[in-house]
Amino acid sequence: MVKMRMAISLSARKFSTFASHPMRVCVVGSGPAGFYTAEKLLKTHEGAQVDIIDRLPTPFGLVRSGVAPDHQETKVVVNQFSRVAVSERCSFFGNVCLGTSVSLSELRDLYHVVVLSFGAESDRVLGIPGEDLKGIYAAREFVWWYNGHPDCRKLSPVLKSTDSAVILGQGNVALDIARILLRPTSELSTTDIASHALEALEESSIRKVYLVGRRGPVQAACTAKELREVLGIKNLYVNIQKDDLRVTPTDEVEMKNSRINRRIYELLSKAAQSGTQSAAPGQRELHFVFFRKPESFLASNVGGSKVVGVKLEKTMLNQRDGPGKQIAVGTGEYAHIDSGMVLKSIGYKSIPVDGLPFDHRKGVVPNIKGRVLGNNVDGSPHPQPGLYVCGWLKRGPTGIIATNLYCAEETVASITEDLEQGSLPSPLKLPKPGREGLSQLLKSRNVRLVPFSGWEKIDAEERRLGSLKNKPREKLASWEELLEIANQ
């Protein structure tokens, strides 16, 4: 086994040292999965040339547009990614969208290896009546809005016309949103929150936030650090129904098996015991609502277009499925929460592109250890030569930044193995145009590509603007501004 591993790595290095015939690799998506893949590939294959394309003029995916503005320390990872981007054998092509600027088959013709890591840029839907009413947003849109993603610059959430917001889901994204809605804006003003969002939050009339989970406190999908943080918001009234904290023997087993679940339950129990009976006048309120699933959204009047509340069905857990697998089933008992704003934080979903095998049920690209699987004529699955996947597109929309490091290691190991076993054509025998070919193609299509130096101009301008306001950066949040500064 050791011998075999040595053989693989020696051969991969030998193969890669022909600088005149580099292995041309294109990574699609510059989030954590894309950058970890590029870094690992550059380290493992000395002769590899890696181009990272992203549909935005800015790199770093959800580290820039997802991670909450009051989590600045998490964003330090971009320094590591920037070192990869400026390395000699790496190039960044911003403002290049797979599917519109260039097709998948074109990329596969231009490169020996294409690694898809373009994340999950859509949303799971509930499929219940009223889901299209005004005032209902996907968590992704709201997060993009406060993080200055150019696609949601104009969202204008209805923060001034209601005193309460309902968040459906109890994962970490839901907690991020609750924190942004409830935290004093004075504490957000020194973060890199988009200024349009800060101004809107300063004028927000929302005082009550309901975090609704279809299961119980033992199954809440958040993690302890994030829960502690939201519970620790200054002068916040926290409401948790004591009845919801009753646990079954199956819950006990779940807590025994998972330290995270136990910790969450303990934090919630402690918060329920230490709180006051009711909120003081003017105090902001956070209500945890467990064992309730959304049944429909309520409109302002018959045929009205604005949401005014959510009808919820009480649930109980089906314990036949055993510890760790309990699911919520409706009991036929209903109640509703009045609210002019609803945020659906029930998970993200990937968007397929033409020519890419896609599992619509799971919302991922079918793969074995990162090798994209297509179908033979007889329907049997087989790996698509030279096509790989990584990150949320590979595993589904779960996991923290570091999870993508392990994910990238697995995908790169598959690439290395395929090179060794000859299932990838040798760059010596089949040179490909790679970077030069892509640049020519994009030029012929008048795509205004943004190189990493263009991003560095954006970065410098954002930092300059931020320094005037005591913020780490003031994000440029429109396509026009971003492209203008990048192309100066």
Ligand X SMILES: Cc1cc2nc3c(=O)[nH]c(=O)nc-3n(C[C@H](O)[C@H](O)[C@H](O)COP(=O)(O)OP(=O)(O)OC[C@H]3O[C@@H](n4cnc5c(N)ncnc54)[C@H](O)[C@@H]3O)c2cc1C
Q: What one-character-per-residue DSSP string does 157-185 give?
A: --TTS-SEEEEE--SHHHHHHHHHHHS-H
**Contacts with 101 (C-beta within 8 Å, 6 or more apart), sequence order:** 55, 95, 442, 445, 447
| Distance of alpha carbon 198 from alpha carbon 137, whole angstroms | 18
When asked if residue 86 is in the footprint of ligand X (CB under 6 A), the reply is no
Stretch of residues binding ligand X (CB under 6 A), selected from 48-56, 239-247, 306-314, 373-381: 48-56
On whether 171 is known to bind a ligand per the annotation, the reply is yes
Q: In sequence order, what are the residues at sequence separation of 6 or more whose Cβ sits closer than 8 angstroms to the Cβ of residue 426?
A: 15, 419
Site for ligand X in 395-434 (CB under 6 A): 399-401, 403-404
- Nearer to ligand NAP among residue 204 and residue 261 (C-beta): 261
Packed helices 32-44 and 77-85: angle between N→C axes, nearest 10 degrees: 50
Three-state secondary structure call for residue 394? helix
55 contact, one of ligand NAP, ligand X, none, CB 5-8 Å limit per kind: ligand X
Residues 48, 42: contact at Cβ < 8 Å? yes
- Select the binding partner of residue 347 from ligand X, ligand NAP, none (C-beta < 5 to 8 A, by kind): ligand NAP
Scan residues 266-295 and list those touching ligand NAP (CB under 6 A). 293
Q: Judged by CB under 6 A, which of 8, 97, 104, 126 binds ligand NAP?
A: 126
For ligand X, the nearest residue by Cβ is 31
C-alpha angle 247/166/162, rounded to 5°?
A: 145
User: Among all chains, which residue has been given the structure tokens 């693989």?
Assistant: 8
Tell me if 372 is assigned to a ligand binding site: no
Instruction: Examine residue 214 and tell whether it contacts ligand NAP (CB under 6 A).
Output: yes
Closest CA to 24 of 56, 59, 52: 52
Residue from 6, 400, 402, 428 in contact with ligand NAP (CB under 6 A): 400
Give CA torsion, residues 436, 437, 440, 442, to 10 deg.
Answer: -110
Interstrand relation of 371-375 and 381-389 (parallel, antiparallel or unpaired): antiparallel
Which among 124, 131, 62 is positioned nearest to 347, based on CA atoms? 124
**Closest by Cα among 438, 456, 460 to 86:** 456
Output 420-424 pairs: Cβ under 8 A, ≥24 positions apart: 420/7, 420/8, 420/11, 420/12, 423/383, 423/385, 424/112, 424/113, 424/385, 424/386
202 marked as part of a ligand binding site: no
Q: Establish whether 302 is an annotated binding residue.
A: no
Query: Interface with ligand X by CB under 6 A: which range of 61-69, 125-133, 409-417, 442-450?
Result: 61-69
Does 98 belong to an annotated binding site?
yes
Binding-site partner at residue 157 among ligand X, ligand NAP, none, CB < 5 to 8 Å by type: none
Does residue 226 bind ligand NAP (CB under 6 A)?
A: yes
CB of 330 to ligand X, least distance (A): 28
Q: Is 61 in the site for ligand X (CB under 6 A)?
A: yes
Answer yes or no: is 226 a known binding residue. Answer: yes
CB of 121 vs ligand X, minimal distance in Å: 5
- Residue 288 touches which of ligand X, ligand NAP, none (Cβ within 5-8 Å per kind): none
Question: Is residue 309 marked as binding?
Answer: no
Rg over alpha carbons for the chain, rounded to the nearest Å, is 24
**Which helix (DSSP H) or strand (DSSP E) does residue 116 occupy?**
strand 113-116
Q: Report the partner that residue 346 touches, choosing among ligand X, ligand NAP, none (CB closer than 5 to 8 A by kind).
A: ligand NAP
Interaction residues for ligand NAP, span 289-348 (CB under 6 A): 293, 345-348
- 130 has binding-site annotation: no
Residues 6+ apart with CB under 8 A from 67: 74, 75, 147, 401
- The stretch among 201-209, 210-218, 296-304, 372-380 that binds ligand NAP (CB under 6 A) is 210-218
Residue 42 vs 193, nearer CB to ligand NAP: 193
Q: Which residues bind ligand NAP (CB under 6 A)?
A: 124, 126, 168-174, 176, 213-215, 219, 221, 226, 293, 345-348, 397-400
Q: Which residues are annotated as a binding site?
A: 33, 62, 98, 170-173, 214-215, 226, 392, 399-401
